[in-house]
Amino acid sequence: MEFITDLPHWVPVTRLYRHGDHHVAVTVLDFWDARGTNVFLCDEQGVAIDADGDPSNGLTALLELEHGTTFEQACQVAIPALEALPGS
């Protein structure tokens, strides 16, 4: 998984990564009342793509991981999920 850039237009702290033809935004939440680490599908510009394809239920993360999960750990867990996507 290749780090591309920080995403300042997302909540702090979010980073954009690429794996093959897929891009993900990894958000590590550990401030205020938010907990956990989320991995969102996105395009190469860091624009979110709803993982379940149903925008009526809000933005769905590809993965929701436990509090304390680092960027590096999230990327390792995301690789098999990305490779399992249709068209991968």
pLDDT of residue 68: 82
Which residues are CB-contacts of 70 (< 8 A; sequence separation ≥ 6)? Answer: 28, 37
- CB count, 10 Å around CB of 3? 13
> For position 86, what pLDDT does the model report?
83
Residue among 59, 7, 9, 11 at smallest CA distance from 34: 11
Task: Kindly list the domain boundaries of the chain, sorted by start residue.
Answer: 2-83
Task: List average pLDDT for each run of 10 residues in the chain, which is 88 residues long.
Answer: 92 89 88 76 93 92 90 93 85
Distance of CA 31 to the CA centre of its chain: 17
Place of tokens 């969102």: 40
Confidence at residue 41, expressed as pLDDT on a 0 to 100 scale: 94
